[in-house]
Amino acid sequence: MAKGKTATVFYCQSCGYESMKWMGQCPGCREWNTFVEETVSRTQLKTTGGQLKNQTERAEACVLSDITISEENRIMTGLEELDRVMGGGIVQGSLTLVGGDPGIGKSTLLLQVCRNLADKGHKVLYISGEESQVQIKMRADRIGSFAEQMLLLCETSLDTISEIIRQKKPEVVIIDSIQTMYNDNVSAAPGSVSQVRESTAILLQLAKGLGVSVFIVGHVTKEGTVAGPRVLEHMVDTVLYFEGDRHASYRILRGVKNRFGSTNEIGVFEMREQGLVEVQNPSEYMLSGRPENASGSIVACTMEGTRPLLIEIQALVCHSNFGIPRRQTTGTDFNRVNLLMAVLEKRSGVQLSGCDAYVNITGGMKIMEPAIDLGIVLAILSSFRNKVLSPKLLAFGEVGLSGEVRGVSMAKQRVTEAEKLGFEVCIVPYVCMEECQKNSKIKVVGVKTVQDAIDYLL
């Protein structure tokens, strides 16, 4: 390409896949209609990199064993749930991405972090590109009083922001949100893939160069109008997702990537009038609204990517008035449920052929993972026999055609999640039992066949 010439590139707004031409479906993440054209000036990008390198100190190779880790390198936020998800506090000089749907409470969470840190005497800088100072003040008033250590800046230009960070030298910086930030050297609009990437690269250099811990807020957007947080997941040290049903008050903070700790942790919060409150016993919230003493209900665990998710499976089995029984499913595969009912009938002698059956996954989730098979089978049988299953019981496992319960991946994570959410008994595939029992206080029951599970429970 000729020097100084601008080129157009198509980017997937969901995962950042780069292409020279427009495509309907992204080969990277299989999302439809996510490609957007952006103008990129290659030569300009190169000079930016050069300038930045000159600003930071020259790196020197050093002996690994000479590096000492002291306790002070982590800052506690005072929000226990968040500290745990981050692997025990904020690491100095780290870059953390907090993703989530708009309106889920990312700004609220980070403002509360700022309040706690400022109270403890840490210098924090909250940079907002979305709200005015008055708006933030109004939100802050709902949350509580702030100490003087808390600085506020409403700015979207990264040049100004880096200057202020260098000048004020805060310990923690919040960028709310990355999609509103822009860098003059990139011609694309704020929120575009190239702009978001370049901005993050600058923040990364600031974080590592000055030892500032930076939190970046990234909105998840389904429409693909702005670049999603997945575009930057590989650049940052820690990725946290804040999720939850907007109509329900609970919120879950999940670690998806963490260079300083495990990603098996979740933090549960409740959104109240005065901001977010930590939930000490999350099981109540997760299963709030769950019917008490009702047959046909069981909790199963599914994996959302690498994240375990507990869901309630409900079944209603009743006598059919017609020759052809009615079967209906919401949130799971219809054919799979039919198959599982056939297995139950053939292998365990349960007469289901004259019954209507309805299976529902609550909460509007769509789950196709075979690991919930055992849960579906037990829910159906519980409804059929009208027997109530313990509310502290969880079951997962794939059911095969001969009624055997097969192993599933990441069984240990599922059991850990169940333990975390206050469950007492886990029915797991026999092959996974040993792995699940390791360091867990929860009672783990391994079953080889569906019949074993039925004998144990019903």
Q: Give the binding site for ligand TYD (CB under 6 A).
A: 100, 102-108, 139, 142, 271, 273-275
Q: Does 107 bind Mg ion (CB under 5 A)?
A: yes
Closest separation in Å from C-beta 111 to ligand TYD: 7
CB of 100 to ligand TYD, least distance (A): 6
Question: Applying CB under 5 A, which part among 102-110, 163-171, 190-198, 339-347 lies near Mg ion?
Answer: 102-110
360 binds Mg ion (CB under 5 A): no
Tokens of 314: 């409900």
Residue 3: Cβ within 10 Å count = 7
Say which entry of ligand TYD, Mg ion, none residue 108 contacts (CB below 5 to 8 A, set by partner kind): ligand TYD
* Under rule CB under 5 A, residue 179 binds Mg ion: no
Rounded to whole angstroms, what are the CA distances from 444 to 393, 394, 411, 426?
10, 10, 11, 5
Dihedral angle computed from the Cα positions of residues 278, 216, 170 and 115, in that order, rounded to the nearest 10 degrees = -20
- Interaction partner, residue 34 (Mg ion, ligand TYD, none; CB < 5-8 Å by kind): none
* Interface region with Mg ion, contact rule CB under 5 A, candidates 101-109, 138-146, 248-256, 267-275: 101-109
Q: Minimal distance in Å, beta carbon 109 to Mg ion?
A: 10
Which of residues 276 and 374 has its CB atom nearest to ligand TYD in the complex? 276
Closest to Mg ion by CB, 77 or 107? 107
What residue 232 binds from Mg ion, ligand TYD, none (CB within 5 to 8 A, per partner kind)?
none
Least separation in angstroms between CB 114 and ligand TYD: 12
Residue closer to ligand TYD, measured from CB, 180 or 297: 180
- 136 contact partners, CB below 8 Å, separation of at least 6: 111, 126, 128, 152, 154
Number of residues that bind Mg ion (CB under 5 A): 1
Cβ-based nearer residue to ligand TYD, 107 or 283: 107
Q: What are phi and psi of 29, to 5 degrees?
A: -115, 0
Smallest distance, Mg ion to C-beta of residue 227, A: 16
Report which residue's Cβ sits closest to ligand TYD: 107
Alpha helices by DSSP H, 182-333 = 193-210, 282-286
Q: Among residues 415, 380, 375, 413, which one has the least CA distance to residue 395?
A: 375
Q: Are strands 275-278 and 266-272 parallel, antiparallel or unpaired?
A: antiparallel
Closest separation in Å from C-beta 221 to ligand TYD: 11
- Give which of Mg ion, ligand TYD, none residue 354 binds (C-beta under 5 to 8 Å, depending on kind): none
Helix axes 450-457, 334-348, angle to 10 degrees: 80
Stretch touching Mg ion by CB under 5 A, among 104-112, 137-145, 263-271, 380-388? 104-112
Torsion sign across C-alpha atoms 16, 22, 24, 25: negative
> Should residue 329 be labelled a site residue for Mg ion when binding is judged by CB under 5 A?
no
Beta-carbon contacts of 343 under 8 Å, excluding residues fewer than 6 positions away, are 377, 399, 400, 401, 402, 403, 450
Residue 14 found at the interface with Mg ion (CB under 5 A): no
Q: Which is nearer to ligand TYD, 253 or 266 (by Cβ)?
A: 253
Nearest to 99 by CA among 197, 191, 233, 4: 233
The answer to whether 343 and 403 have CB atoms below 8 angstroms apart is yes
| Inter-residue contact 218 to 98 (CB < 8 Å) | yes
> Smallest distance from the beta carbon of 113 to ligand TYD, in angstroms?
12
Radius of gyration of the chain (CA): 26
Output the six-digit token pair for 402.
């001969």
CA pair distance 100, 105, nearest whole angstrom: 8
- Residue 271 interacts with which of ligand TYD, Mg ion, none, CB < 5 to 8 Å by class: ligand TYD
Q: Which is nearer to Mg ion, 49 or 102 (CB)?
A: 102
Q: Which residues bind Mg ion (CB under 5 A)?
A: 107
